[in-house]
């Protein structure tokens, strides 16, 4: 059980670092209307956050294995809250508004390549809700972390 708990914690730490780091970087670049930074973030992170998502899924599996092999009841209130929060996080990040962030990154790469108009992208960045989307992700991750640590239910 202890090895699963350690792997759960390490996986989740890596997932939060990578996934929130990417979201925060997108949010800052979009807020600043910095096309060069946005393109750079997109080039560095790639099409999908594969490593962050893989760590998140591994963390969920290791968390379930920890609960299953340990003394935890899989139906404890704090674990049910965690299940709901994780599903909410996946559902939220699948929304078209959230998926707009990497698409803006793609557009920034196109602007740098000269195949897209910079003014149009700047207008799209201004109309995006990047700050709210990033803040919502931070709140979801924080709620999961607090639920795991405090076990309030």
- Which of 9-13, 44-48, 82-86, 141-145 is least confident? 44-48
Query: In terms of DSSP H, where are the helices of the chain?
Result: 2-31, 35-45, 50-69, 77-94, 96-113, 118-127, 130-150
CA angle, 22 then 28 then 32, to 5°:
145
State the distance between the two ends of the chain, measured CA to CA, in whole angstroms.
22
Q: Are 22 and 43 in contact (CB under 8 A)?
A: no
Please tell me the predicted confidence (pLDDT) of residue 29: 96
Please tell me the predicted confidence (pLDDT) of residue 21: 93
Which candidate, 48, 41, 51, places its Cα nearest to that of 109? 41
Neighbours of 94 (CB within 10 A): 9
pLDDT, tens digit, for every residue of 47-100? Answer: 777 899 999 999 999 999 999 998 888 999 999 999 999 999 999 988 998 889
pLDDT, tens digit, for every residue of 17-27? Answer: 999 999 999 99
């Amino acid at each position: 059980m202890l090895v699963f708990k350690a792997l759960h914690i390490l996986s989740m730490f890596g997932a939060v670092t990578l996934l929130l780091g990417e979201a925060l970087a997108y949010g800052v670049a979009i807020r600043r209307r910095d096309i060069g930074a946005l393109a750079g973030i997109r080039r560095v992170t790639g099409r999908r956050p594969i490593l962050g998502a893989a760590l998140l899924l591994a963390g969920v599996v290791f968390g379930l294995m920890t609960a299953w092999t340990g003394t935890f009841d899989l139906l404890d209130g704090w674990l049910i809250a965690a299940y709901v929060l994780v599903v909410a996080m996946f559902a939220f990040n699948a929304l078209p508004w959230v998926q707009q962030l990497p698409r803006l990154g793609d557009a920034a790469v196109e602007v740098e390549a000269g195949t897209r108009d910079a003014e149009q992208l700047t207008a799209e960045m201004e109309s995006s809700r990047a700050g709210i989307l990033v803040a919502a992700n931070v709140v979801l991750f924080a709620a999961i972390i607090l639920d795991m640590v405090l076990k309030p239910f």
